Amino acid sequence: MKVILEKRPVRSLGNPNEDMHSMRRHLTDGSVVEDKNLKSSNVKNIKSLGSTDVVGKNADKNLRGEFSDLIVTDDTNMDPTFWEESQLDLAEEHGVDAKLLLTDYFNNQYVGQIGLGEPAQTLSVVFDTGSSDLWIPGRGCSQCGDHATFDKTRSLTYSMIVDSSEEPRPFEVDYGSGKVTGYRAMDNLDVGGLKCEGVYFGEVTYEDELIRKFIMDGIAGLGFRGLAMVTKPTILELVFQQNPTVPEVFSVYLSNNPRDHDKPSHLWFGGYDLSIVSENATWHYTPVIRRSYGDFKYWTVKMYGLQVLSNGGLDVKADMCSSGCYAIVDTGTSGIAIPELYYYEVVNYITEGLHCRGITCYNVQVSDFPDLTFYLAPDNELPLRAADYVTCSRWGECVFKIQPSYGGAYWILGDVFMEAYYTLFDVENMRVGFACDGTCTGGDWHGKGGFLELEEAQEWLKFTFLGLLVLSLSTIVYLVSSFAPSIYMKNKGYSHVPSAAEQPRDTLKSEIIHDEDS
């Protein structure tokens, strides 16, 4: 094992929320906004695109798991031959085939795999465009749940990072769901077949309770350098610097069907395949902007409005952010996160006339909820249908995947949005593209918008039968336990001796008085 003295300055690893607060302070003081004013263009083929960094953010990660009690589970493995059968022109042109299948858990977590160390140890991660660092549970972590761990003793290229006193350098990252702590290290990384040497990462020795329950082992940040705490250079800087033939772009396709073997969820470094949407699909671009000095931090885009629609989209119930807001495109958040300033107003409009408690509504169906339309710079109109953000059970209980974004002014366009719109992260041109076939219509192109039903009908029939069976058995047990003793005593010739509770009230009273006199 190598030991590396870290000489470069590294800032304190506090809560990423602090950076969010500093950005807000910057804005109130008159921040610089760099907007390339890119026109919304329809580009079918991208030949060469720029570099990508990593991000940290305050989007609450506790969206993970918050809705899982109502989402169907499917651990079906995706068919790896899908990629062998696809004709992907960009990959062939550049000799690149860096794709990762993502396993869809409950439409709530999309998990891929990386290889860390030499020889590579396989670990599962969420590829998070809303955070900047790579962290993985280390061997010996007793508070990391059932997560797989990285065994540094098996890697020939592992290095420990120490300070000037030759003590291991600690790190801590906080999320809405809790924190992880551990030590800094460095090793080689394999991501989608692309090799990266000298990647700084966090070797976790402790995870808070909720994070221990996460399906993935760790997180791999795919944002920008400005908020990197441990992983500098960032994963994407190293991916593109050390693999110069790879176009500096990555695309994210999130299927809303965990059982989709023909078009499984995936992340692709260096390419995309618009035919997933349709043969005539094009990218609708919105520029990435920088809201403070220094390096880019978030995949931040300008938002010019959110409309809550009714009457089949003909009437506007509410129009917000008409003067402009900012949104983060984030694969690490399950739903749509809305700043507190707007959240409760949006919820009131969504639930108007419905019987709801929080984000859960009763005796309703998907068609009872309004459509939403997001307006992104420069002129993109992106609807989100009710079926895209609402999931319902067969007994009329529905959940809409919207939550407040505490302590910040940013809207978060999470997985719900990217399920509706195949997404391209273009770094050279600093823009994000959303795929549409002509006019954008939300997730209708999936063939079935939104989320899956919770369970199939036969499942509920099975549970109903089991429930009735348990109730019947409980009734039988109760009757037997209540009457069997008296029947047995009667058959044996024993007379019934009344209990104190069965004796007349006057008798009890006289006995009590007698006890007192004595």
> 277-466: same fold as 99-250?
yes
Q: Which of 340, 384, 410, 425 is nearest to 59 (CA)?
A: 410
Q: Is 312 a residue whose pLDDT tops 70?
A: no
Check pLDDT > 70 for residue 495. Answer: no
Q: 312 versus 272: which is more confidently predicted?
A: 272
Straight-line distance from the first to the last Cα atom of the chain, in angstroms, rounded to the nearest whole number: 86
Q: Are 376 and 384 in contact (CB under 8 A)?
A: no
| Rounded Cα–Cα distance for residues 452 and 415 (Å) | 15
Lowest mean pLDDT among 68-82, 84-98, 172-186, 464-478: 68-82
Residue 302: what pLDDT?
97
The DSSP bridge partners found for residue 180 are 173, 207
Give me the CATH topology for the region 277-466.
Cathepsin D, subunit A; domain 1 (2.40.70)
Annotated catalytic sites, by residue? 128, 330
Highest mean pLDDT among 114-118, 390-394, 470-474, 508-512: 114-118
Q: Which residues pair with 310 in a beta bridge?
A: 315
- Give pLDDT, residue 406: 81
Could you tell me which residue, 317 or 439, shows the higher pLDDT?
Answer: 439
Query: CA 400 to CA 392: how far, in whole Å?
Result: 9
Share of the chain above pLDDT 70, in %: 66
What is the C-alpha separation between 76 and 68, in angstroms, rounded?
Answer: 17
H-run or E-run covering 516: helix 505-517
CA 498 to chain centre: 65
Is residue 515 scored above 60 in pLDDT?
no
Q: What does the DSSP 8-state code read for residue 150?
A: B
* Higher-confidence position of 54 and 366: 366
Residue 103 contacts residue 29 (beta carbons within 8 Å): no
Q: Is the peptide bond before 233 cis (omega within 30 degrees of 0)?
A: yes
pLDDT in tens, 442-492: 988 775 544 444 444 344 445 445 555 656 666 666 566 666 666 666 666
H helices of 223-375, in order, are 235-242, 340-351
The H or E element spanning position 375 is strand 372-376
What class does CATH assign to 99-250?
A: mainly beta
In this structure, what DSSP letter does residue 227 have?
G
> Looking at the DSSP assignment, which residues form a beta bridge with residue 382?
374
DSSP code at position 27? H
Residue whose tokens read 């008409």: 322
As a whole number, mean pLDDT of residues 502-518 equals: 44
Pairing verdict, β 218-221 and 121-128: parallel
Query: Is the pLDDT confidence value at 261 over 70?
Result: yes
Compute the average pLDDT of residues 67-76. Answer: 34
Q: How many CB atoms lie within 10 A of CB 391?
A: 24
pLDDT at 432 over 90: yes
* 44-68 residue pLDDT tens: 222 222 222 222 233 333 333 344 3
Q: What is the DSSP string of 107-126?
A: TTEEEEEEEETTTTEEEEEE
Question: Which has the higher per-residue pLDDT, 417 or 18?
Answer: 417
Any idea where the domains of the chain sit in the sequence? Answer: 99-250, 277-466
